[in-house]
Structure formats: structure tokens, C-alpha cells
Chains A and B, each alone.
Chain A
Amino acid sequence: MNEPANKAATSAALRSFEASWRARPADGLAAMRGEAMQRFLALGLPTPRDESWRYTNLRAMAAMSFIDAPRIANGAVTAAPGESWIAGAGMSAIRILNGYPQLGAGADSGLAHVAVRSLRAVAESEPKVIAERHTAAAESEEGRWTLLNRALFVDGLHLRITGRVAGPILIVHAANCPDGSHAVHSRLIVETGPGAAATIIEHHLGAGGGTLLANRATEIDLAPGASIEHYRVFSGDERTTQFDSVDVRHGADSRCRQFTVVLGGALVRTDLRAHLGGIGAQHDSYALLAGRGARQIDCVNTIVHAAPRTTSNQTARAIGAGSSRVVFNSKVIVERGAAGAQSQQSSRGLLLSPNAELDTRPQLQIHEDDVKCAHGATTGRLDPDMLFYLLSRGIERSAAQSLLIYAFLDDVLTGIASMPTRRAIEDALVEELPDADLLRSFR
């Protein structure tokens, strides 16, 4: 049994998180959990007064009580909803159901150069591997959900990548909860050896039955010369709240291409923190944020250049239909000593409905003279001249609109190096747009 936190929980949600925390075992991680829980409770739920939560109001969530999503036995896989539409030939898929990975006996992925373990197994045998990790997220106030994840995660995955992995590793985050409000706090830790290379795709599906709060954290450590292409794709039902945090720590000359693709969910908050701490490291991030219906998407990137000759590029494309609200908030920090750093941000928004709202906020904090930083942010509607040109060639109006929306997203889509993944995302995207038939032939 854990000691009670010294700050009283002030909302139903906080009280329910605290209750979940009390139920965690008093194992080698208890101290870490306790510290994280206390800090989380001290911070409380974010309010619009918090700098990075200005646009996302969690008042409704605060009144809800969440219980842990149940563990479903391995044999009951068939009961899980929603197969991943990304799954394809040449991919190795691992399913995480309600936060618990469904690994085969022996925990051998069958993949060369990858060791896959459940985080629970790691926690039991080597709790220090987890307890001693420090992530930038947990140290910053914006990272409060990462703190909660630290306090409450029960399981997740640990990947150790030691060489060049052939096909993409697909991690499917599925949930299968009965009615009611459930929470899943799962965690993914990726460690790489020097020169390792892999593509990791995390596909977040919706919950099916009840209301789900998915609070997930991914940490990627890049050894010198390592190269990772990471995707997180959100799709599925409109009853899921996703808080998803990705932390990437860069060694020298390492490279990460990170894609955040939001095509589903009710409220999706994504955090990306890239720490370029090794000389010559490069981080390229891409965001494709499709706001539709009443969806809220809040995408927050923080890129820190902490070593010389580091490079970052950010490309974000947001569309707002229905009464959706999409925020893209990116901050680039160049620390003193990061000479020769280069940073570029391009964020564009396309407003498709008068009731939708798009906000983009590029920010730069530069503490070094020898840097090259550029950023551009625009938001507009469909170009009437382009639309008329297509109409004048006989294209149906709805198809013309979809074509232009699709074209608007081109810079992100063409950045996707994994062709089967790109196809799958394009197909899913097309379903979200009018005139899917015509668009399907458009590549």
C-alpha cells in the first residue's frame, strides 16, 4: 500500500487517479510512482491558464471518475475490436490491449536485431532500468500526463534495437472496455544501439464500448548514428480521449523522422519533445491533423537544440472541418553552445468550415548567435481560383474540394518513407473526405 499523497485530490478525476495509484503494488517502482503521483496532484489537472493548455479545456473530464481498463487474457484476443488497417505484408505486429502487450510465449519477437519485452517483466526483473530513467517530459510542467503515466503505468513494451531492422514494427494500441469510464496508462521504451535503424508505427485505435482515457508515453533513446522513423496514428471512434507523449533523446549523428497523424478520436493531445543533445543529430517531425465533427486536436512540439550542428525540420498541416478545433503549437529552443544549429518550421492550416478553428503558434527561443532558423505559418481557406480552375475542367465540386484538401496535405504524405504505411494512411484519409471514389484513384 502506498502512502497517501500530501496534496488532496480536488476533482473526481484526480480522486480516481489517486485511487488507482493506491492499488499499485509496492514493488521496486513504488518510490518512483509515489514521487510522480505527488507532483501530478500538486500540479492538478491543466486549466486554460496553463501556457500549453490554453486551447483545451478539461472541465468535463475533471468531473469523471476513471477506473483501470481490465486486463484481458491472451486467449481472448478475438474479443478485441478493430484490427489495424496499417497492418500489411512485411510488418511485424504487436498488439497492446488495454495497456497489456499480447506477446507470444518466450517473448521472442522473431525479428532480427530486436529484443521485445513486456514492461512489466522489465519492472519485475530490473526495476532500475525504469526507475532511473529521466525524461525531459516528466521534468517539465507540460509533461504532467507523463507524470501520471509514470505513477500509474502497469505494463507496456520495452524494445531494444541493436541493428538494422528489416520491416516496420507495428504496435497496435487497442482497447476493449465495457461501459463506463476507463483509463489506460501504457508506456513504450525504445533503446537503440549505435547505428541501429528501424521503423516503428504506433496505431492508436478507439475504445469501442465506453469512454476511454488513453494516457500513453513513448520514450526513444537514440545512440550515436541510430536512425528511427516513428509514426503515431490515431483513428477510430469519437469517444476516446488520447494524451500521447513522445520523447526523443538524440545521440550524435542520430536521426529521427517522427510522424503524428490524427484521423480520429474525440480529444487528441499529442506532445513531442525532441532533445538534440548529440553533435550533428537531426530531427524531422511531420504532423497531419484532420479536424472533423467536434474533434479537438492539440499538438504541441518542443524541439531543443543542445549540441552543435543539429538540425530540426517541422512540417505541420492541419485541416478544420465541422466544428473541430485544431491547435499546432511548436517551440524551438536553441541553447547556448549549439553553434551551427539549423531549424525550420512550416505550419499551414486549411479552414473548411466557418465553425472550425485553427490556431498555429510557432515560437523560437534562441540563446546562440550562430544559428539559422526559419518559420512560416499560414491559415486560409480553399483557394477559389484553384477551385474554379478544377471546376472549369469538368471536375465535380466535392471532388475538386477533396483534391485540393489532399494536395494541401501533400508535403506530409510524400514525407512518409514506408510505402505501405503511406498507402494505408492515404486510404484512411480519403475515407474522411468527400468523394472517396474519385480520390482513391488519385495518387
Chain B
Amino acid sequence: MNLNTGKQVLTISNLCATVAGKDILKGVDLEIRAGEVHAIMGPNGSGKSTLAQVLAGREDYEVTAGSVSFDGVDMLALRPEERARAGFFLGFQYPVEIPGVNNAYLLKAALNAKRKAANLPEVDAYEFLALIKAKMKFMQMDESFLSRGVNEGFSGGEKKRNEILQMLILEPKLAVLDETDSGLDIDALKVVAAGVNSLRGGEHAIILITHYQRLLDYIEPDRVHVFAGGRIQKSGDKSLALELEDRGYDWVRGDRVA
């Protein structure tokens, strides 16, 4: 039983979306409160990343029905950059490489964009450096990553660490981490999990999209959702993840809940 009484951060009701004329999201319902960690698991191609991208505001997807309320505002009415400044963060399944855009610069620009939206002054250069160094140490990232292009030439695991680093600097109200655990070795998985756990609690909420129970050994979820056929088919506590590991997804698909 979930006794969390935190403030509602995200409310998704009957969200439907299409891409290239194809229905992908078919009535997603989800509620998350501050301080909670939710895991979303589900078969390949079921629409998990689509949900994440729709929440982030990607224009390729057309929302055809439903609503998303984020921290009390209509999230679908905001542009992607406004969502980010309002405290939404997407950790990409495939972070893109941007040669020529400096990694440290992006971090600073992102932080300042958020501060500006909150009517705060720009971060002091010295303070920023101290902050970023501390967070990088925590993520066990070499400082040389700062001077490189965004994700340029980063290994798969390094890109994922970089996503978490950005999350730690931006301290979002809601982070959706799309398969941030995929492709990580066991040490990196622990580092990433520690990063996520350090943000846990207080006013932050986190959605982990994952295929592996393994991640959930390190980050214990409050809720687990099974996503299949473009919607959440079943929800439960962490034992649901273990059950999925045993039984696969077929039984869930056959056993639709209304």
C-alpha cells in the first residue's frame, strides 16, 4: 500500500497520441506524487519512449486526446523548453551527440534558463564550477568530459552518466529516465542508481522506464506499471516487477484492467 501523501506532480488522463498517422498511445492514465519513484516496464515497441517524448513536447507526435497536468499546469500547452524550465527532465534513451556545442556550456545554459524562468540571477561562474565538479565526482566522471562536445564520442555508458549529471545539476521536479540503465556495466549501474537515489524524496518525482528488474534492486520503486499496447495495463508494487521477470508480459496483456 502506498501511504505517500505528497503533492500530485503529474496527472495523465486518457492520453492518446499518433505518429505518422499511427496510433501509439491509446489512453494512458498515470498519477505521480512528489517523492515517488515509479517504474514503467513493457515490451519493445509498446510506446514507452513515445510517452516520454510526448511528455517532453516532441512535435513529431500528435496528441489526439487526453490531458497532462504537471505541477498544476496544463503541460500540453507548454513548449518543450518551457516544460524543462518548469522542472521536467527527460533522460533520453538515445542521447544525441552534438559536436561543437560544449558540454559545460550546455549545462550552464540549461541551469541559467531554469533560473531565469524562476526570476533568479544567473549562476555565479565560480559557484557553477564548484557545483559541477562535485556532481561529476559523485557520478565518477572525469572532468575532461566538460570540455568535450555534448556526448561527442562518449561511450554508451558515458552518455547515460552524462544524462544523470544533467539531471543532478537541474534538480527537476519530475524526471523521466528512458532506459538509462540499458548498456551499463554493473559499476556504472550502481553509480547511476546512486545518482537517482540522491535526488529521491522531497519534491522530486521519478519515472524509470526499464526492461530490467536489476535496476530496481538498486532503486526501489514505489509503484510498478506494465505498459503494453499503448497504455498502462496493470499497476502494482515492486513485487510486480519480480512477477514480470518470471512470467513475461503475455499474462498481463491477456488480463487487461479497465
Contact = CB atoms under 8 A, between A and B. Distances in A.
A, B co-complexed: yes
Interface of A: 383-386, 388-397, 399-400, 403-404, 406-411, 438, 442-443
Contact of B85 (A389, A390, A394): A394
Contacts of A385: 96
Given A385-B96, A397-B81, A403 B113 contact: no
B84 A391 contact: yes
B105 A394 contact: no
Given A386-B96, A392-B84, 4 more contacts: A404-B98, A407-B100, A408-B100, A409-B100
Chain A interface, DSSP helix/strand/loop, else mixed: helix
B130 interface: no
Contacts of A407: 98-101, 149
Contact of B58 (A388, A403, A438): A388
Residue with the greatest number of chain A CB neighbours at <10 A, chosen from B110, B114, B117: B110
A393 B84 contact: yes
Residue with the greatest number of chain B CB neighbours at <10 A, chosen from A389, A392, A400: A392
A397 B105 CA distance: 16
B72 to A, nearest CB: 19
A384 B83 CA distance: 18
B195 interface: no
5 contacts: A383-B96, A392-B56, A394-B117, A397-B81, A411-B100
Nearest to B151: A389
A404 B96 contact: no
B54 to A, nearest CB: 12
Nearest to B115: A394
Contacts of A409: 100
B106 interface: yes
B60 to A, nearest CB: 8
Nearest to B166: A393
B105 A391 contact: no
B137 interface: no
Interface of B: 56-58, 60, 79-81, 83-85, 90, 92, 95-96, 98-102, 105-106, 109-110, 113-114, 117, 149-150, 166, 170
A388 B105 contact: no
Contacts of B102: 442-443
A309 B113 CA distance: 52
A415 to B, nearest CB: 13
Contacts of A410: 99-100
The 9 closest A-B pairs by CB, nearest first: A407-B100, A410-B100, A394-B113, A394-B84, A393-B110, A391-B80, A385-B96, A394-B85, A407-B101
Contact of A392 (B57, B100, B150): B57
Given A394-B117, A442-B105, A389 B100 contact: no
Given A388-B80, A442-B105, A394 B98 contact: no
Contact of B98 (A386, A391, A397, A442): A386
Residue with the greatest number of chain A CB neighbours at <10 A, chosen from B58, B90, B109, B166: B109
A228 B172 CA distance: 52
Nearest to B82: A394
Contacts of B113: 393-396
Nearest to B106: A393
Contacts of A394: 81, 84-85, 109-110, 113-114, 117, 170
A20 B173 CA distance: 73
A443 B84 CA distance: 24
Contacts of A442: 102, 105, 109
Given A386-B98, A404-B98, A410-B99, A395 B92 contact: no
Given A396-B81, A407-B101, A391 B109 contact: no
B166 to A, nearest CB: 7
B57 A390 contact: no
Contacts of B85: 394
Given A394-B84, A396-B81, A438-B109, A389 B57 contact: no
